[in-house]
Amino acid sequence: MEKVKLFLKGLIIGCASILPGISGGTMALTLGIYERLIKIAGNVFHNFKKNVLFLIPIGVGALVGIFLLSTFINVGLEKYPEITTLFFVGLMIGGIPSLLKKVKKKSFNFKNITISLIAFTTIIIFILTKEVSNEVSFVGMNITGYITLVFIGILASATLVIPGISGSLVLMLIGYYKPIVETISSLAKFNDIGKNLLILIPFAIGTVVGIVIISKIIGYLLKKYPTQTYYAIYGIIFASIIGVLIPLNVGVAVILLFVGMFITYQVGE
């Protein structure tokens, strides 16, 4: 049953990672596995067998979520944007009660609230001032293009690891989101396998490198300044929720928000 729960958590994280405005790191945090993932990513060879057994169901779930959603995301976001997005916002909100338990009540003071407000304001400014770049093309790629994909992977992984910052949104802003999603979707349908792998492999290499580097930094902050780090994360999460809701015309899809909250609460137990 534990493995099934880990698979479901991975599935949710994978789906969240590919939705613009939703952070995979936030979902991992609200589902209660963020800290352990950070520790493992920072030193995977410590308790290697135990770590691998923990990561496999999460990794499989995440891959299923990514490939599943990359196939249907255009339909979901174009035809039912409110329903699709609010469901995942509900998943984020549903995990907040367990997340708040990470810090002691007595830590609620001016210093920590200020940290949270600074983080909140920074993300809100980023969301409100964003401008989407023109989409890049993977047609006729040269060596420079493949090297660029490695660095794009590092950038995407950094935003994936940091809770509240959507890697998909960042990719969208720099024009790489739709081309990469279309490449994943094409690979999932077994079309142009060689061509698609040539694009996705350098991106994946950059992603892995970025996850290891950023995980070490986040791991250090959680170990050295746990309370302050979590207050910053709270600010980022609340800002990202507001940022996702701003462009939506909220209607009956609010029901899906509460469904998402319920699922996260149950799976995160």
- The pLDDT profile of the chain, 269 residues, written as one tens digit per residue, is 788 899 998 888 888 777 766 777 778 887 888 888 888 877 777 788 888 889 899 989 988 888 777 666 656 666 776 676 677 677 667 767 766 777 776 677 888 889 989 988 887 787 677 665 667 778 778 888 899 999 998 888 876 777 766 777 777 777 788 788 888 888 877 888 888 899 999 999 998 888 888 888 888 888 888 888 888 888 877 777 777 666 665 544 555 666 666 666 656 55
Backbone phi, then psi, for 208, in 5-degree steps? Answer: -65, -45
Helix/strand/coil for 163: coil
pLDDT of residue 134: 65
Domain boundaries along the sequence of the chain: 2-267
Q: Do 172 and 132 form a contact (C-beta atoms < 8 A)?
A: yes
Half-sphere exposure at residue 87, Cβ-oriented, CA atoms within 13 angstroms: 12
Q: How many CB atoms lie within 10 A of CB 111?
A: 11
Of residues 218, 213, 223, the one with CA closest to residue 233? 218
| CA separation for the pair 73, 67 (Å, rounded) | 10
pLDDT for residue 39: 84
Using CA atoms, how far residue 257 sits from 34, 53, 127, 238, 245, in Å, is 22, 32, 21, 15, 11
Write down the pLDDT at residue 108.
Answer: 77
One-letter identity of residue 132: V
What single DSSP character describes residue 135? P
Q: What is the pLDDT of residue 149?
A: 92
pLDDT value at position 246?
66
Residue 206 confidence (pLDDT): 92
- Please tell me the pTM assigned to this model: 0.68
In whole angstroms, what is the distance from residue 94 CA to residue 268 CA? 9
